[in-house]
Amino acid sequence: MTSTINTQGSVARTATVIGGAVAALFLALCAVLVPATAQADPSVIQYSADNSTWGGMEQIPALSGELIPGGESTSTFWAKNTTSDGGRLQVYLGNWTASENMQAYVRAEINDETGDIVDLVNDVALPGTELKSIHLNPGETAKVLLVVGMPADAGNESQNGSVDPDFALDFELDPAAVSTSTTVTAAPTAVVGTSVELTATIDPSDATGTVQFKDGATDIGGPVAVTAGVASYTHTFTVAGAHDITAVYSGDTGFATSTSAAHTVTVSDPTKLSTSITISGGTAVNRGTNIEFTATVIPNAATGQVQFTANGVNLGSPVTLVNGVAKINRSFGVDGEQVIIAKYLGDSTYAASASADHTVTVSSVAPEPGGSGSASSSGSLDTGSLGG
């Protein structure tokens, strides 16, 4: 039991460019779908029987021979996108014909991936039925197999029949991407630690994809989806200064990428609440005797530390405020005047401040009653190097 496959002569190999975007190849004696003015256009798609020698449709091996139940006949070739744009390679049925009651099927493989098997029985396989397709980038090639076969359980009615599968091969270039423009808007000024809204607007408004906001060359967060031409992101600056914000639109199917002009946001440190600080303590002390100094910050909700100095030299490390108060005990090793200042270092809410001078006279003679400093030994330090 055999059936003959119609041999496809070179006269049936015709290519066309439809609307400047489609190249079609028909492997059949009848090329009804091809316009009368069709011409081969190897600048769009080229073919090769060995993936080495490239040319027009003449490079594609013909389908011919005999079929037996369970047998197949194939034509193997390569197709190459010769354009600078991407496009879709599509194998589909043309106006196929077969003897009455002939049992046969067709399928296509591209890059070793096979499409669905389509039976050519009782005219159920309509012209235009897609068998397999793949997207090809510029210069990319694909291995194509066109297969016609007979089912293993084909009956006697297929004996001495014939089939003309009439494969068609199209290559449709991707639509040209629509140019886009992107603008970014935000408040011209911001404060460290306070959030601001960054907004990117894409034109045309039906563009889809994502936007990446950037601060100079640094990404701000991750990509943000575009909805109705707009993408927004809430951002908090952590560093004061001028920040050049841009929005980079990713582009999407049918839409080209674009980048906005820079929008400068001037970021300042937050305005802090003012404070005042006073220092109290004795005004005279015997050399080598501890004296206590107390710094009081107003308002007392201020947190942070106070640095005490004597004649411009730090008296140890900063002291932490407790309920707006910081204390220190020190002794002096030389006679003379010591000018004591308490400096509040500020915090995230309250501004720094400094006390007025507090002068202490250090003497080797015991101070007069009422002028002595504290005799506490807590935290004593001999600061003989601090001369007056």
Q: Is the pLDDT of residue 243 over 90?
A: yes
Range 352-356 average pLDDT: 97
- List the Cα angle 298/300/302 in 5-degree steps: 90
Q: Is the pLDDT of residue 29 over 80?
A: no
Q: Is the pLDDT of residue 52 over 70?
A: yes
Distance between CA 128 and CA 305 in Å, rounded?
Answer: 82
pLDDT on residue 43 = 64
pLDDT on residue 368 = 56
Q: Which of 336, 184, 190 is nearest to 262 (CA)?
A: 184
The token pair that represents 120 in the structure block: 């050519």
Cis upstream peptide for 369 (omega within 30°): no
Q: What is the CATH number of domain 181-268?
A: 2.60.40.10
What's the whole-model pTM score?
Answer: 0.46
Distance between CA 47 and CA 302 in Å, rounded?
Answer: 80
pLDDT on residue 367 = 52
Which region holds residue 209: left if phi is over 0, alpha if psi is between -120 and 50, else beta?
left
pLDDT on residue 348 = 85
Q: Is the pLDDT of residue 182 over 80?
A: yes
Longest dimension (CA), the chain: 136
Distance between CA 234 and CA 247 in Å, rounded?
Answer: 13
Q: Which of 334, 18, 279 is nearest to 168 (CA)?
A: 18
Range 179-198 average pLDDT: 96
- CATH 2.60.40.10 in the chain is located at 181-268, 276-363
Cβ pair 43, 83 in contact under 8 A: yes
20 CB-near residues (< 8 Å, 6+ apart) = none
The dihedral built from the CA positions of residue 51, 52, 54 and 57, taken in this order, carries a sign that is: negative
Cβ pair 277, 324 in contact under 8 A: no
Distance between CA 98 and CA 242 in Å, rounded?
Answer: 76
Distance between CA 62 and CA 25 in Å, rounded?
Answer: 12
Q: Is the pLDDT of residue 358 over 50?
A: yes
Strands 87-93 and 130-136: antiparallel
Q: What is the CATH number of domain 276-363?
A: 2.60.40.10
Distance between CA 186 and CA 245 in Å, rounded?
Answer: 9
The pLDDT > 90 percentage for the chain reads 58
173 DSSP β-pair partners: 87
Range 93-112 average pLDDT: 88
Higher pLDDT, 255 or 14: 255
370 CB-near residues (< 8 Å, 6+ apart) = none
Higher pLDDT, 149 or 246: 246
The pLDDT > 70 percentage for the chain reads 82
Confidence of residue 356 (pLDDT cuts 50, 70, 90): very high
Distance between CA 216 and CA 231 in Å, rounded?
Answer: 19
Q: Is the pLDDT of residue 129 over 70?
A: yes
Mean pLDDT of the chain: 82
pLDDT in tens, 287-308: 999 999 999 999 999 999 999 9
pLDDT in tens, 42-51: 568 899 999 9
Q: Is the pLDDT of residue 361 over 70?
A: yes
- Helix, strand, coil fractions of the chain, as percent rounded to 5: 0, 50, 50
